[in-house]
Amino acid sequence: MSAVFCTSLTALHAQDYFEGVKPTPTSENPTASIQGLLDGRKEFQTHCLKCHDAQKSMAENYDFQGWLDTIDRMVRKNEATVPQASRQPIATYLSLMAGTSMSGASSTSSISSDEKANATEKNQVQDRQLIESGRGAFQTSCISCHDAEKSLSKTKSKSDWLVTINRMATKQGASIPAGSFDSIATYLASLSGSSSSTNDKTTGNLASDAGGGSLSVSGTFSPTWRGGNDNIQNGGFFPDTWLTANWTGKALSGQVTACVSCHTTAEGMGDRVELVEAKLRLDITSVFDQCARDDLKVAVEGGRFIVPFGAFASQSNPAVYRTVTRPLIYNMGQRVHDGDIGDPVLPMPYSDEGSNISIDRDLNGTWRLGMIGYVVNGLQSDRNGINFDQSRDYVANNNNPSFGSRVTLGTPRLNFGSSIITGQSSPSGGIDGVSDKLYYRIYGYDATYKIPSLLRMQFEYAHRESDRAAPEPDAFRVRDRVAGYYLEGEYYSQMFSRLSYITRYDCQDRRSDYAPDESSIGLGSLTVSRFTYGLNLNLKRAGLVMINHERWNLPGGLERMDVLGVRWVYSF
């Protein structure tokens, strides 16, 4: 690959390039150097700002040949993807901006002040075009997971936005074409009055001067309060906090995320910090430069990661979802009468150890197809069925891996998805008198529809079938079925731009011959529903405040319950 892409530039001569181009203004072609400047600027923004801060390059004072040598060195040293045809225009642009010779030490030609003024005016036009292009790319690629206001309220320089966008592009389900990184960063930086490409300064990240990668730290602080009665699981205040360290390179990236758990330590000493993610990601399309294309992305991951089941898996960070609590089918730790109603279909986030491969393909410029397959340790069972607390362990209880997949198809506004995971949950040797293996299968489908800055709707259904050992003295294998759905809508106020209204209805149905282990009502088959409504207030740089009222309808003669919840989210 280096033989194809890393051809030395030192054998090229500046006079060969200028033959027929005539960058020095003449009566026949008075704007040739201006056009060269603009062409080179475009190539510089496309190929160099993915790794470098513009300010660093603009501070150098190389001539044309010096810049050719520098670009050649960067290509050979860092495996940068700079097409051969782009290298001379970039060198022309950088040498002209530095006011140095364009053809080596023997030439002293440079552009005049009038030409620079004319070029500056054209640069400003191109900046406006780049900003408008970035706005469209942002609406297309970034609001599939994030609310637009969350990003628009941040104040960052362009280089910091580039680091953030690179980090987001490595997330499962993300579909951000590499060619749009620069325009999106320019657009977001312009909203806060930050400088554009030629005056940007790197702040808040550790970027490699060699272009080998960048290290960034991000986090979410989301204190939550819930109250209203004495049957709330983990009621009162809870300091929900996530912290992420992310390293992003050209093809390889790594991420470590930790959170404050609502589960206590083994000694009962209070909350503990848990590892949500610790993974490495390899972008296959970046490794094979000749195959790199904006309409296709192939990547593999290994380590501990959030298992991509359902639409909510990519929204399980408290900075992303827009209600005080998670949907009922994914909620564990924020329910009412939890011992009576049993476990959810699958708690979120569900983190596990394993590996996955993802493929994202642009079908026709509007529709995108995403596919991901994975193998993980899987869920774990005890005498009472699947034990979701035990399943959070970093080691498996058996040697049988679980397999799953997720497929999505959608546009920037409308997206459909389906998911499945299946495996064996009993420990090696079986459980008590049940020697048979205990299997489970979880599947679901979802749909999301968005009109930017006006409306968001999301529907999701999930179904779990899982084996368990019947209570003694029966001791035979039985099957539990848990299924449910939620429909959530958010309307953004057109009168008060910082205000939105949220509603959600969710329902969960359980069918089994035996009641949950801690049930006081003794029902194996039961239905729970909940209606949530509230307000979301965007405080811009101070974060987001959510106020919800939950109305719970419970089975077995349990009284209906009202829960009030407040959550504040601040992310950096």
Q: What is the CATH number of the domain that holds 480?
A: 2.40.160.10
| Cα distance between residue 165 and residue 180, in whole Å | 10
Q: What is the pLDDT of residue 67?
A: 81
Indicate if 44 and 172 belong to the same structural domain: no
Indicate if 411 and 528 belong to the same structural domain: yes
Indicate if 161 and 298 belong to the same structural domain: no
Tell me the pLDDT of the chain (572 aa) as tens digits.
333 333 333 333 333 333 333 344 433 333 345 666 677 777 777 777 666 655 556 656 677 777 887 887 776 655 566 777 777 888 887 777 665 544 443 333 445 555 555 555 555 555 666 666 666 666 556 655 565 555 655 667 666 666 676 666 666 556 666 556 667 777 677 666 554 444 443 333 333 333 456 788 889 999 999 998 888 988 899 989 999 998 888 789 999 999 987 765 444 444 578 899 999 999 888 777 655 566 788 999 999 999 999 999 999 999 999 999 999 999 988 999 989 999 999 999 999 999 999 999 989 878 999 999 999 999 999 888 899 988 988 888 888 999 999 999 999 899 999 999 999 998 887 776 666 788 999 999 999 999 988 999 999 999 999 998 877 666 678 899 999 999 999 999 988 888 999 999 999 999 998 888 888 898 999 999 999 999 999 987 889 999 999 999 999 889 999 999 999 999 88
Who's near 310: CB < 8 A, 6+ residues apart? 330, 346, 348, 406, 417, 419, 444, 446, 460, 462
270 is a domain residue: yes
Whether the Cβ atoms of residue 24 and residue 33 lie closer than 8 Å to each other: yes
The 3-state DSSP class for residue 336 equals strand
Indicate if 199 and 218 belong to the same structural domain: no
**Rounded to 5 degrees, what are φ and ψ at 556?**
65, 30
Q: What is the pLDDT of residue 562?
A: 95
Question: In terms of residue numbers, what domain contains 230?
Answer: 214-571
362 is a domain residue: yes
**Count of the separate structural domains present in the chain:** 3
Six token digits for residue 484? 């449910």
272 is a domain residue: yes
Q: What is the pLDDT of residue 90?
A: 82
| Cα distance between residue 245 and residue 167, in whole Å | 10
539, amino acid identity: L
**Rounded to 5 degrees, what are φ and ψ at 162?**
-60, -40
Q: Which of 153, 179, 204 is the last residue of a domain?
A: 204
pTM of the model: 0.70
Q: What is the pLDDT of residue 475?
A: 66
Q: What is the CATH number of the domain that holds 190?
A: 1.10.760
The residue ranges of DSSP E strands in 411-476, in sequence order, are 414-424, 439-451, 455-469
Q: What is the pLDDT of residue 410?
A: 93
Who's near 279: CB < 8 A, 6+ residues apart? 254, 255, 301, 302, 303, 304, 305
Whether the Cβ atoms of residue 247 and residue 215 lie closer than 8 Å to each other: yes
What is the number of alpha carbons within 13 Å of residue 225 lying toward its C-beta?
A: 6
Q: Which of 177, 204, 231 is the last residue of a domain?
A: 204
Indicate if 534 and 450 belong to the same structural domain: yes
Indicate if 70 and 140 belong to the same structural domain: no
Indicate if 146 and 286 belong to the same structural domain: no
Question: Residue 407: exposed, middle, or buried by beta-carbon count in 10 A (0-12, 13-18, 19+)?
Answer: middle
Sign of CA dihedral 544, 449, 371, 354: positive
Whether the Cβ atoms of residue 149 and residue 168 lie closer than 8 Å to each other: no
The 3-state DSSP class for residue 261 equals strand
Whether the Cβ atoms of residue 265 and residue 253 lie closer than 8 Å to each other: no
116 is a domain residue: no
Q: Which of 78, 111, 144 is the last residue of a domain?
A: 111
171 is a domain residue: yes
Q: What is the pLDDT of residue 154?
A: 66
Whether the Cβ atoms of residue 482 and residue 345 lie closer than 8 Å to each other: yes
124 is a domain residue: no
| Cα distance between residue 355 and residue 350, in whole Å | 14
Q: What is the pLDDT of residue 444?
A: 98
